A and B are shown apart, each in its own frame.
Chain A
Amino acid sequence: MECPIHLRNLAASPSLNFNPSFSPVHHHLQIQDLTVSYNRVPALHHINLDIACGHCVALLGPNGAGKTTFFKAVVGLLKPESGSVSFHGHEAGRKIGAAAYLPQRENVDWDFPLTVRGLVETGCYLRLGIWRKFSAEEHRNVDAALAAMHLEDLADRQISALSGGQQQRAFLARSLAQNAHVFLLDEPFAGLDKKSQESLGETLKQIARNGNLIIASHHDLRNVPDFFDRVIFLNGELVAQGDTASTFTGENIAKTFSTPAFSGTRREN
């Protein structure tokens, strides 16, 4: 099958590479002893992680395992009870815009009067602030992000007039225009047909190859090895993490999915 998404444009356009002065290989998302709670009831317990950029990471765990909580903490929406999240030496939330959170599709108001181009342009707002006008460079930035996600022809469509895969790519394009470095995706493959899943998987790999870090929560265990080169097993606490080849094992899956979410009364190593 010919693959519709091959991001020659992404690799070719220098404006889409994050600031070249820091080379992607040395970048790490570092999470130390992260505990996040709602009303003093912890949902995530003592997470320690160190992930290098350039990977496509699957975040796996049953419902209630704290996947969305994990994303919100990394992106700075929830204040951790203890511990820290840092990226490239900056505390999360401080360096706003380095991490982009892509909400689940059902949490987006698709009737909002917004075109694809308009959506991608919102990615530039952070740099432009309140006042500054869109420069020619920012327009090129938006065009490049649209081209990288193969959305040029759809740029003037209202966002509800897109297929599920195109909607995901539109949000990815916005994160590219934002020059985000860490992409956090909440169930990006949910509700997509097989072909769109494959092309989205290829897109994510390409973005990761460009030196970015992709972390996506995922529930379909059958295709994890196809789309992700690393996995994190989460179940209230960190169960296991590492390369897909060595970590995505029946033992870890069983450990994560067949035990109740860790609630703090039992502590294992």
Chain B
Amino acid sequence: MNWLTEPFHHEFMQRAFLACALIGFTNGFLSAFIVLRRLALMADALSHALLPGLAVGVMLFGLTPLSLFSGALVAALLVGLGAELISRSSRVKEETALAILYTVAFSAGIVLLSFAPVRVELHEYLFGNILGVSNADLWTTYGISFVTITTLVVLQRPLFLMLFDPSVAATQGVKVGLLNYVLITLLVLSMISSLQAVGVILALGLLVAPAATVYLLSDSCAALFWGGGLVGAFGSCAGLLISYWLNLPAGACIVLLLGLMFSVAYIFSPRYGILRHFFNRGHLHRESLERWEKKL
């Protein structure tokens, strides 16, 4: 049993484990909204768009959580709103505008980083460094998790109405536009908290895969939110341990594990898995046969 407890003897592993649980749960919880609102592409774009914001934040205010956060938020909002502005004011569709803006923003970020006074490892930004989590990072993560989950739980009814049908929600008095901005802001927040752990690229995996997995297993919305959180937390923690035992990069192990869980659900889900579709083809015929017999 030594191998099981051994990782926890190190303080950096304890911190990493705690960070994984928090980030995994928060991102997993949020992933329900991203899957149902079909924001995956948007999330991808935002994750890249954060880079120039971070660079400018570091250049102007130094390397602090607040400077990173404000820079990232401004950059994400500029890209998100810019895409909407372009799609509304021209014939270019929103995905196209989003793709142009985020690649441009990402490139600008790379150029800007070379002027940054502090050396920022692009590799760490992309893939994170969970083992280097400091106490301050942990507190930031804790704060972001608390704000995100509280907001989502408090606003669950209007959010739910908006997710199901935005225009009908508006007739029921839901401020759809405002809620959308709240959701995007929370998305950016949790990306920032994932930055240290798995990096922005892999954060996307944590922000989509958990709920997508549960979506294949359950028809309950509550299960999607809380189950997404649990799958995210479990996947992150287990992935971290696997990476420790096998001496592999942590972020990649976490996302691979989440991908594996998704594949299992995709293939074996009792209700929506492909195996069931494959083996349950007799259904249609049986029903029509019964009808035919009834007529005779």
Contact = CB atoms under 8 A, between A and B. Distances in A.
Interface in B148-166: 154-155, 157-158, 160-161, 163-165
Interface string A120-158: 001001101111000000000000000000000000001
Nearest to A102: B168
B167 A77 contact: yes
B218 A113 contact: yes
A130 B157 contact: yes
A122 B160 contact: yes
A75 B155 CA distance: 23
Contacts of B224: 113
Main secondary structure of the interface of B (DSSP, over half): helix
B158 A97 contact: no
Contact of B173 (A97, A100, A113): A97
Contacts of B163: 112
Nearest to A129: B157
Contacts of A178: 172
Interface in A68-101: 72, 75-77, 96-97, 99-101
A158 B168 CA distance: 20
A97 B172 contact: yes
A112 B36 contact: yes
Contacts of B215: 113
B221 interface: yes
Nearest to A174: B168
Contacts of B161: 122, 125
A118 B168 contact: no
Nearest to B170: A77
B154 A130 contact: yes
B220 interface: yes
A197 interface: no
Contact of A96 (B155, B160, B172, B221): B172
B220 to A, nearest CB: 6
A77 B171 contact: yes
Contacts of A107: 165
B170 A112 contact: no
Contacts of A62: none
B219 interface: yes
Contact of B165 (A108, A126, A129): A108
B172 A126 contact: yes
B220 A113 contact: yes
A167 to B, nearest CB: 13
A109 B164 contact: yes
Contacts of B218: 113
A112 B173 contact: no
A114 interface: yes
A159 to B, nearest CB: 9
A158 B167 CA distance: 22
> 7 tightest CB-CB pairs across the interface, nearest first?
A96-B173, A158-B219, A75-B171, A125-B157, A113-B219, A113-B221, A126-B172
Interface of B: 36, 154-155, 157-158, 160-161, 163-165, 167-168, 170-173, 215, 218-221, 223-224
30 contacts: A72-B167, A75-B171, A96-B171, A96-B172, A97-B172, A99-B171, A100-B171, A101-B168, A101-B171, A103-B165, A103-B167, A103-B168, A109-B165, A112-B163, A112-B221, A113-B215, A113-B218, A114-B164, A114-B221, A115-B219, A118-B221, A122-B157, A122-B164, A125-B157, A125-B158, A126-B172, A126-B173, A130-B157, A131-B154, A158-B219
Interface of A: 72, 75-77, 96-97, 99-101, 103, 107-109, 112-115, 118, 122, 125-126, 128-131, 158, 178
Given A113-B221, A113-B223, A115-B220, 10 more contacts: A75-B171, A96-B172, A101-B168, A107-B165, A113-B36, A122-B160, A125-B158, A125-B161, A126-B172, A178-B172
